[in-house]
């Protein structure tokens, strides 16, 4: 079972960020190297003060006094480490699949059909409330995910006699999520899917449920392959999660 709360988020990235900050690397460069936000790096390292020499070195150029070969070696080490962890999570999923638990099997197969194949996050979108609720129950039951770990984004349609607030409340209440889980909505977007139906066919729009967890998504990828009897190497290495700033959650290309 996986625990959704109580443990620090991204412990490996946090430890690496603190090490790099202690070496004097600027916050934005650390964030880019580790594929996290500058605000996260600031929060993790706010108690670390740079020396006068470190501050001067940061002003001399993007690499400061670091050896480019050392940068490349450390980046390669980080990539290999992250890949090994993803493979470990897939093996956990395969082992769980061999137990043939009905809820686990149904949830994994549903994600295979309806979920995004991002490398580091669960992204599940549907207009059917009961389907979203079932998938959420699968995550909470099989991985001990808490309501506070979920994020939702809605594709809402106007002209149905409902306000955006009404639609938002519909999903929040029925999924039993805190209001803090809500992210910016999309209004009146009609892609070539079920959300391309007439507006009055989808009065509550489409809900995208998201969970940032490399472990859970790679576990599911491993289980899918075990259940269905095939191999999909692309799920192990990509595509990476797309972050808000356009960065990729990959190995730290400039982590050293």
Helical spans, DSSP H, in the chain: 11-22, 27-34, 38-45, 52-59, 68-97, 102-114, 129-143, 164-175, 214-228, 234-237
Residues 229 and 118 in one domain: yes
Question: Is 50 within a domain?
Answer: yes
Quickly count: other Cβ atoms within 10 Å of residue 184's Cβ. 7
Give the model confidence (pLDDT) of 60-106 as tens digits.
655 445 567 776 787 788 888 889 999 999 999 999 999 999 999 99
The length of the chain is 256
Q: Which domain holds residue 57?
A: 11-66
Residues 59 and 111 in one domain: no
Domain count, the chain: 2
Q: Which residues contact 113 (CB under 8 A, 6 or more apart)?
A: none
Per-residue pLDDT at 59: 72
Q: What is the value of pTM for the model shown? A: 0.67
Q: Which residues contact 71 (CB under 8 A, 6 or more apart)?
A: 63, 254, 255, 256
Low-confidence ranges of the chain (pLDDT < 50): 1-6, 63-64, 195-196, 199, 241-256
């Amino acid at each position: 079972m996986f625990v959704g709360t109580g443990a620090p988020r991204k412990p490996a990235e946090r430890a690496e960020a603190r090490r790099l900050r202690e070496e004097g690397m600027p916050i934005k460069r650390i964030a880019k190297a580790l594929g996290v936000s500058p605000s996260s790096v600031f929060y993790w390292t706010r108690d670390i003060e740079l020396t006068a020499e470190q501050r001067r070195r940061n002003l001399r150029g993007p690499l400061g006094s670091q050896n480019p070969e050392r940068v490349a070696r450390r980046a390669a080490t980080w990539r290999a480490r992250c890949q090994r962890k993803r493979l470990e999570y897939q093996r956990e999923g395969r082992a769980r699949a061999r137990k043939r638990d009905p809820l686990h099997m149904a949830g994994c197969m549903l994600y295979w059909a309806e979920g995004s194949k991002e490398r580091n996050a669960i992204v599940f979108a549907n207009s059917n409330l009961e389907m979203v609720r079932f998938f959420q129950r699968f995550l909470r039951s099989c991985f001990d995910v808490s309501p506070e770990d979920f994020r939702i984004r809605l594709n809402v349609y106007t002209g149905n006699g409902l306000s955006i607030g009404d639609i938002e409340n519909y999903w929040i209440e029925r999924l039993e999520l805190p209001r803090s889980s809500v992210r910016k909505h999309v209004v009146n977007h009609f892609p070539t899917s079920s959300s391309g139906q007439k507006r009055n066919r989808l009065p509550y729009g489409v809900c995208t449920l998201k969970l940032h967890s490399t472990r859970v998504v790679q576990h599911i990828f491993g289980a899918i392959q075990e259940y269905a009897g095939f191999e999909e190497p692309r799920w192990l290495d990509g595509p990476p999660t797309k972050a808000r700033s356009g960065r990729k959650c990959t190995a730290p290309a400039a982590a050293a």
